[in-house]
Structure 1
Amino acid sequence: MTNVTCREVKLAEVMDNLLEGCQILDFNWTYLYLNEAAQGHNRRPNAELLGRRYQEMWPGVEQTEVYEHIRRCLEDRTPHAMENPFVFPDGGQGVFELRISPIPEGVFIMSVDVTQRKAAEARLAQSEERLRQAEKLESIGRLASGVAHDFNNILGVILGHVELAMDHIPEGVPGNQDLLEIRLAAQRSAALTKQLLAFARRQIIEPKIIDLNQAVEAMLQMLRRLLGEDIDLLWRPDSDLGAVMIDPSNVDQVLTNLCVNARDAITSHGRITVESQNVVFDSQYCQEHSEFKPGSYVMLAVSDDGCGMEKAVADRIFEPFFTTKEQGHGTGLGLATVYGIVRQNGGFIHVYSEPGRGTTFKIYFNRHLGEAVAPQPPAIPEVECRGLETLLVVEDEASILRVVKSSLERLGYHVLPAASPRDALDLARRYPGDIHLLFSDVVLPEMTGPELAKALHQIRPNLRKIFSSGYTANVIVHRGVVDPGVHFLQKPYSRRELGAKVRAVLDGPLET
């Protein structure tokens, strides 16, 4: 054996054991050599390729970038490097890094399979994008909750004074209609701030174990009226659906907003499908789909056959006030509200949309093992609840303090107003009679409302307590759920709501 032949044999042995794919094509594009790794990359036996032309074995390759790189290397004798996404005859896909080098026989092609690395990089990029989106929505949520808090205080003053004015200007008297319009505008504004608080996950919720199928079925008639005759609403429930823990009113909000959004995406006649299903995600599935979390879930999906969305639109749909509708045809808060409600109730949401094909929203709530209870609508008093007890009202906003004092006095109560915790403690010590109830803002100078209540308990141990705020402060509320034994009234509220809450606490058991 000559030295040249010996070197060739040793070189072939080395290449046969490389993890990288090695291929040699001559100047006629004929396969002269492939190692075992190249066989794996090609997903074809080497014997099937050796002695055959490259174009013959890969029909259509002449239109690809890799063909152009090989041609230039054969003709110009210059090396090339590239990343080659490849679709195999069996439909599988791969990504390979190629090094194409000139050699005396023709070209030498070294391939490295980077399919798994590219998939991992894509998953990481998706996770980073979702994190950026979540951080952006969290920042917007903090801003929204702060705005809603201040705005709710202002609305409380407006609504309170309107109701006081309406006592002097009854129905039929000039000016009454103007007051009704002011009250209606303030109530609409309060509804907007409620949506902002829902997005920011700061609305008050009362989670209950419910049957999601029953909750949806109770809404179907109303939804069909809301959607109109041109929309076919289909309901496909899972017959053995698990229970979920959620505020029943939140189900109404989520389903209504999603169905209205779907209706608006349909130009004429169309179909909206609502379905429920038990779903289990294992850890392997969640590794491949990082937006999901392992566990047992109950899925609620709303699909439409409307116009669909581009990715740039879908990436922003949960932002407050973002809308693609014409001016005057939506606030841009519907989907933001859905997002906040789902997150506040411990769930997550996935959106799939194709332009011209429609959109599907899938919401996943944790499956609960407890027994579902039928939701009961809240009782609304038909008349204002009144009383004669003495109430200590603590509020550092002077305008709110005045309107609350006047409203409670109109209901018959004797009111002791205090603009600070120090004033409240002084009143509690000096007042000679009984004080039956503390009505206090949560956020106060010097100390919080609950801290004030604790200090007052040393002076007035039989004092009942109600706290109020423009949003759900973490002092008494955690994840939107009021702490046990705490009575809370969210601003803004009507005089009827105020009177009902005060009367219920006064007539209820004394908190220990």
Structure 2
Amino acid sequence: MNAVQGTGSTPQEGRFQLLVDAVTDYAIYMLDPKGIVSSWNAGAQRFKGYTQDEILGEHFSRFYTDEDKATELPRRALETAAREGKFEAEGWRLRKDGTRFWAHVVIDPIRDTRGNLIGFAKITRDLTERKRAQEALKESEERFRLLVQGVTDYAIYMLDPQGRVTNWNAGAQRIKGYSHDEILGAHFSQFYTDEDKATELPKRALETAAREGRFEAEGWRLRKDGTRFWAHVVIDRIRNDMGEIIGFAKITRDITERRQAQEALAQAQAALFQSQKMEAVGQLTGGVAHDFNNLLTVIVNSLDLLTRNTRDARDMRLIESAQRAAERGSKLTQQLLAFSRRQPLQPALHNPNTLIGGFEAILRRACGERVKLKLALAPRVRSISVDAPQFEAALLNLIVNARDAMPDGGMLTITTGNATIGENEGVSAELSPGPYVSIAVEDTGSGMAPEVVERVFEPFFTTKEVGKGTGLGLSQVYGFVTQSGGHVKVDSTPDRGTTITMLLPAQDNGEEPVQDEDRTEHPGRDSAGTVLIVEDEPAVLEVASDIFDSLGYDVLTATDAQKAIAVLEGDAAIDVMFSDVIMPNGMNGVELSRKARELRPHLKILLASGYPMSALPSEGLGAGVSFISKPYRWTELADKLRMLRS
């Protein structure tokens, strides 16, 4: 650096000049008070491209761009340095070849011992690489900001260490409903439900993210309008270069539709499982009812035969008591058959309001004094095709169960209405879409827990005290409704009551057919003949033989179809074949009846079974073949025989 303070220089100043000249990372040079270059080091030559001979005596403004010259920046820089003792700035500067570089510039005034300004010291550093790195970072951050702002399927935003929102993307606005200006500075806990706030979930979420680096969960969140959505949430902590937590990145996705789809699938799977379970239990109970009917047939008819031959009053009372017990047993088997959907139904077109109205007096008596019955019957309700007595029995069972759930009294409401089941409603796996009629029985009683609701239709399942219920009432309802092509729904909450709804297929509206008056048939006197009884149960075979004998028949017996065919192929005169349907050794009663008609075309055939006729093998009964359900009474058997011969 050339001295400008005097004509000579000291050895110390010479050493300093050598140091300045050796610096190559900084341009260090002197200006006179007007800005003329008076010294030039190696760093200046490297940065700006001028040699010392080329630049000494030139004005320093030549290093400035045209834009800066237009604003007189060189002049203002010197004035600032002279006035304030220093000028410092960054900006574009020019090299000799015209290229630009980003420079950090410091200009210091130089004064003599009397304080007079004798020039300026100017230090320039090339920061082009750093500038490019900063601009690249800025550009990258801007691209990232635009990317985040452009995402609409995810709410992406930042929180400060205390959980306040510091930025907000378009996805957050779409999902949560708040604009950028509305939410900045607010605490993120306002997106949480009151239940989650009560457990301090927002606080625990940030603590987990701060401690473990990440928090991830699913749960209900709130929109601005107060509605809820099911959210998948991720919170990541953000640290600075020193490892300090400076905030959190939060990503939220609305997965309500996915959750609804999963719930619908789970409901469908549960409904299928329940349907399969009830079908299996139904097959079991149907088999039990069939076997039980065989036993009752023996008991009932043995008692009837004893009645005909007993004169002692005490014996008659015992027999009558046993008969009443057998009747109760018969009703139980009918309920089992109802559940297993094997009861014989006689459906006809009915208006449900008419059926309920005609049965109202009995329903009110069944409610008792403490329970108030209310009917809410919709006008113009569609007709249904049902067995009227079974419909009334199902409704009465629902009323009795509702009454028992309200020991201290309450309100019981029967509601009817039209309903439509859509394709994707998933009410039941076996329920076809279309029009239905709903008959609902609602009580204000004790309600049921979910685990009780799941089992409420199972035979013999009851929550009542021992001796106060058979557990078959709702089983009859289930069997009747499903056998009628419908479905039963249960909605119940503990301490808030229960609603059981029967959905039955709607039929075309029209006038209900006039029902024939019930006719009471009386047994007639049968003429003697020969009967072939085919029965594999010895006890049933014995009592059937006694009945036919008492009716004046000669009795032949066989224990299976093959033995019966052997008898039919013989020479014995046979007027009637009385056969069980379900038999061992490969041939059932229906198949036997066909073979028997081939061998003896004019043979009268009567089939019996503990199953109803609707549950018999699908081949169907031919002409001249009649059917009777077990347990049968000898009077019923006599009627069937008389009609068969008529």
| Contact 2:271 2:428 (C-alpha < 8 Å) held by counterparts | no
From 71, 75, 78, the counterpart of 2:206: 71
From 80, 85, 93, the counterpart of 2:228: 93
**Structure 2: runs of 5+ lacking an equivalent:** 1-133, 241-245
Listed as ranges, the matches of 1:99-498 within 5 Å are 99-103=234-238, 104=240, 105-170=246-311, 173-283=313-423, 286=425, 293-369=432-508, 371=510, 372-376=512-516, 379-383=519-523, 386-431=526-571, 433=573, 435-446=574-585, 447-472=587-612, 476=616, 487-498=626-637
Deviation at 1:23, TM superposition (A): 0.7
Q: Closer, same or farther in 2 for the Cα pair 1:77/1:393, shift >3 Å? A: closer
Q: Closer, same or farther in 2 for the Cα pair 1:462/1:65, shift >3 Å? A: farther
Q: Closer, same or farther in 2 for the Cα pair 1:378/1:199, shift >3 Å? A: farther
Q: Closer, same or farther in 2 for the Cα pair 1:490/1:57, shift >3 Å? A: closer
CA shift digits 1:440-485 (9 cap, x unpaired): 111123411111111111122122322111124777366xx98686
Q: Give the 3-state SS of the residue equivalent to 2:335 in structure 1.
A: helix
Match of 1:34 in 2: 168
CA shift digits 1:290-322 (9 cap, x unpaired): 796521001111111221112121111111111
Q: Give the 3-state SS of the residue equivalent to 2:313 in structure 1.
A: coil
Higher mean Cα deviation, 397-406 or 83-92? 83-92
From 219, 230, 248, the counterpart of 1:84: 219
Q: Closer, same or farther in 2 for the Cα pair 1:377/1:334, shift >3 Å? A: farther
Q: Closer, same or farther in 2 for the Cα pair 1:89/1:335, shift >3 Å? A: farther
| Contact 1:442 1:475 (C-alpha < 8 Å) held by counterparts | no
Deviation at 1:65, TM superposition (A): 5.0
Match of 2:13 in 1: none
Q: What amino acid is aligned across from residue 46 of structure 1 in structure 2?
A: H
CA shift digits 1:344-397 (9 cap, x unpaired): 111001111122221111111111127532445754434565343443322122
Q: Distance in 2 between matches of 1:215 and 1:59?
A: 49
Q: What amino acid is aligned across from residue 173 of structure 1 in structure 2?
A: A
Q: Closer, same or farther in 2 for the Cα pair 1:477/1:204, shift >3 Å? A: farther
Q: What amino acid is aligned across from residue 50 of structure 1 in structure 2?
A: L
| Contact 1:385 1:500 (C-alpha < 8 Å) held by counterparts | no
Deviation at 1:282, TM superposition (A): 2.6
Q: What is the TM-score when the length of structure 2 is the normalising length?
A: 0.72
Of structures 1 and 2, the one with the larger relative CO (CA 8 A, separation 6+) is 1
Deviation at 1:38, TM superposition (A): 1.3
**Structure 1: runs of 5+ lacking an equivalent:** 508-512
* 1:48 and 2:188 aligned: no
Q: Give the 3-state SS of the residue equivalent to 1:174 in structure 2.
A: helix
Deviation at 1:136, TM superposition (A): 1.9
Q: Closer, same or farther in 2 for the Cα pair 1:268/1:55, shift >3 Å? A: closer
Q: Distance in 1 between matches of 2:267 and 2:517?
A: 42
Q: Closer, same or farther in 2 for the Cα pair 1:235/1:381, shift >3 Å? A: same
From 132, 139, 146, the counterpart of 1:6: 139
| Contact 1:98 1:110 (C-alpha < 8 Å) held by counterparts | yes
Deviation at 1:181, TM superposition (A): 1.3
Deviation at 1:152, TM superposition (A): 1.2
Q: Closer, same or farther in 2 for the Cα pair 1:445/1:10, shift >3 Å? A: same
CA shift digits 1:395-418 (9 cap, x unpaired): 122221221121122223343333
Q: Closer, same or farther in 2 for the Cα pair 1:339/1:48, shift >3 Å? A: same
Q: Closer, same or farther in 2 for the Cα pair 1:140/1:476, shift >3 Å? A: closer
Residue-pair matches, total? 502
Deviation at 1:184, TM superposition (A): 1.3
Q: Distance in 1 between matches of 2:400 and 2:359?
A: 13
Q: What amino acid is aligned across from residue 250 of structure 2 in structure 1?
A: I
Q: Distance in 2 between matches of 1:309 and 1:54?
A: 39
Deviation at 1:278, TM superposition (A): 1.4
| Contact 2:524 2:642 (C-alpha < 8 Å) held by counterparts | no
Deviation at 1:183, TM superposition (A): 1.4
Q: Closer, same or farther in 2 for the Cα pair 1:431/1:319, shift >3 Å? A: same
| Contact 2:158 2:247 (C-alpha < 8 Å) held by counterparts | yes
Q: Give the 3-state SS of the residue equivalent to 1:283 in structure 2.
A: coil
Deviation at 1:73, TM superposition (A): 5.8
Q: What is the TM-score when the length of structure 1 is the normalising length?
A: 0.90
Deviation at 1:113, TM superposition (A): 1.4
Q: Distance in 1 between matches of 2:394 and 2:444?
A: 19
CA shift digits 1:418-445 (9 cap, x unpaired): 3222332233333454x44322111123
Percent identity of equivalent pairs = 32
Q: Distance in 1 between matches of 2:303 and 2:390?
A: 30
Q: Give the 3-state SS of the residue equivalent to 2:439 in structure 1.
A: strand
Q: Closer, same or farther in 2 for the Cα pair 1:345/1:387, shift >3 Å? A: farther
Higher mean Cα deviation, 324-333 or 51-60? 51-60
Q: What amino acid is aligned across from residue 507 of structure 2 in structure 1?
A: H
Q: Closer, same or farther in 2 for the Cα pair 1:487/1:115, shift >3 Å? A: same
| Contact 1:383 1:496 (C-alpha < 8 Å) held by counterparts | yes
